[in-house]
Homo-oligomer: A and B are copies of this chain.
Amino acid sequence: MEYDLAITNGLIVTCNDDFEIIEFGRILVKDGNIAVIDSNTSNIKTAKEIDAKGCIVMPGLINAHTHLPMSMFRGLADDLPLMEWLNEHIFPAESKFIDPAFVQIGTRLSIAETLLSGTTTICDGYFLEEYIAQAVNETGIRAVLAQGVIDFPAPGVPDPAKNIEHALDYIHKIQNKYPLITPSIFCHSPASCSEKAFINAKEAASSLGLILQTHFSETKSEFMQIKEETGKRPAEYLDSIGVLDEKTLLVHSVWLEDKEISIVKESGCSIVHNPESNMKLGSGIAPVPKYLNAGITTALGTDGCASNNDLDMFCEMDSAAKIHKAATLDPSVTTAEAILKMATIDGARAIGLGDVTGSLQVGKAADIVVVDIRKPHLVPMYNPVSHIVYSVKGSDVKHVVINGQHAVDNGKCLTVDVESAIDDALTMGEKIMESKN
């Protein structure tokens, strides 16, 4: 048998159920999938070989929550509360600039950063998502891309009464069109979407077997608002209208009370933790150790990089591992292994791709990252999982393979024209800057 690709000689951190680590390991890829993982060194015919000697070989990271076009707003406004940041800076900039060309420029820029820093799957929610899907498809990254639903006029959806119709239209347009892209629906939040919108969005997503996502209890005031308006805690409310199940993704989930954690666990839905965005916006510290103890599938995301301000999932792991130790005064509540699972296999499960990606296992897609550890900040190495979470940065990524295709080769992105992505972003950035002044 001839294989398409061999990745040889690396230290393989599989993230499989036994969290197996294979020294001097070999991965053979055929038709986009992992065909063999072993430590055999016999000669094998392959079309291509990546020598990973002295490198960590690991699953591509899963960024389970972002807003790709928002890289265009990175650093536009900082050090402000969520509502002021949104209402006085981000929403006005969005209403002024968002159009199909804009979202594609921001998306290409974000995907370049994403690929170069070792993320192979992203889960996005925004408006004009069909144009984002077009741009994403060209980059070869794996993605769950959700059309936004909000009960206000939004880019591409001037009439909010038609927001579900738009979402369904989007899904029909892109489903099965792009091999690595799965559509989804993103309700902006229980505070900005009516009960009816939530119920209809969930029904639409369920009928097609797709994930429904929503920002959820991001701030204390949002928690209070929902409790006041519905007489129920936010998780009780969403549960009562039937939108919580194993295909629902609760993004942020900073302010859940213990009773709500049980509801979330019972329902089978997943949580996406975005520690850096929650920190930067002063939203709070999600009780993630409780989610992990309850056995809730918990993923990790960067959020849009206007509130982060980057898309580096290695750094996000570092923050996720540390923040809960500080909050609980217990350094054992979040181990490096638990955090790496959030950024890999549990992230894949949360977004409905647990059978496809998130770990290095025979039969899964070849979504693989090779990290160069011959650097002053990465030697010596006593524990590769500690290194991945606490010491490796996105800039240490040497190779990225997605669905068997080489996307980053020796630190160079093969699937995005990075120079033109930068130039386009700079030109658009000048216009945004002018309008700000």
Spell out A's residues near B (CB within 8 Å): 71-72, 74-76, 78-82, 85, 109-110, 112-113, 116-117, 220, 276, 278-285, 305, 308-312, 315, 318-319, 321-323, 325-336, 374-377, 379-383, 386-387, 390-391, 393-396, 418, 421-422, 425-426, 428-430, 432-433, 436
State A309–B387 Cα separation when bound (angstroms).
8
Report whether A379 and B282 are in contact in the complex, using a CB–CB cutoff of 8 Å: no
**Residues B113 and A75 in contact, CB atoms below 8 Å apart:** no
Contact partners of A425 in chain B: CB under 8 A = 379-380
Choose from B285, B305, B381 the contact partner of A429 (Cβ within 8 Å).
Answer: B381
In the assembled complex, the Cα of A132 lies from the Cα of B435 at a distance in Å of 53
- Chain B, residue nearest A335 (CB): B79
- Apart from A75-B390, A79-B335, A282-B329, list 12 A-B contacts with CB within 8 A: A85-B331, A113-B377, A280-B325, A280-B390, A285-B327, A315-B393, A319-B319, A323-B323, A380-B426, A380-B430, A382-B429, A393-B395
Residue of B nearest to A81 (CB): B331
Q: Give every chain B residue within 8 A of A391 (Cβ-Cβ).
A: 74-75, 309-310
A81-B331, A309-B391 as given contacts; A326 in contact with B278, CB under 8 Å: yes
If A278-B326, A282-B331 touch, does A312 touch B418 (CB 8 Å cutoff)? no
From the candidates B322, B375, B379, B429, name the one contacting A379 in the complex (CB within 8 A): B429
Bound-complex Cα distance A310 to B75 (A): 25
Q: Is the CB of B308 within 8 A of A376?
A: no
Residue of B whose beta carbon sits closest to that of A280: B322
Closest to A333 in B: B282
Partner of A79, one of B76, B308, B331: B331
Is the CB–CB distance between B380 and A78 below 8 Å? no
A180 to chain B, nearest CB (A): 20
Nearest-Cβ distance from residue A67 to partner chain B, whole angstroms: 15
Most chain B CB within 10 A, of A285, A319, A322, A380, is at: A380
| Contact between chains at A380 and B79 (CB < 8 Å) | no
10 tightest A-B CB contacts, nearest first: A380-B429, A282-B331, A395-B395, A279-B322, A75-B386, A112-B376, A309-B390, A279-B326, A282-B325, A113-B376
Q: How far is the CA of A98 from the CA of B391 in the complex (A)?
A: 23
How far, in Å, is A186 (CB) from chain B's closest CB?
A: 24
**B85, B279, B432: which contacts A380 (Cβ < 8 A)?**
B432
Contacts A75-B381, A78-B336, A78-B390 given; does A376 touch B422 at CB 8 Å: yes
A71: chain B residues within 8 A (beta carbon): 376-377
Pick from B323, B394, B418: contact of A326, CB under 8 Å = B323
A308, closest chain B residue (CB) = B390
Q: Which residues from B are CB-within-8-Å of A332?
A: 79-81, 282
A-B contact pairs, 25 of them (CB 8 A): A71-B376, A72-B380, A75-B391, A80-B331, A85-B331, A113-B377, A279-B323, A279-B325, A279-B326, A280-B321, A280-B325, A281-B331, A282-B326, A282-B330, A284-B326, A284-B329, A285-B327, A310-B377, A310-B391, A312-B377, A323-B326, A380-B428, A381-B429, A382-B432, A393-B394
State A278–B327 Cα separation when bound (angstroms): 11
Distance from A32 Cβ to chain B, minimum over Cβ atoms (Å):
26
> Is the beta-carbon distance between B331 and A280 smaller than 8 angstroms?
yes
B422 near A374 (CB under 8 angstroms)? yes
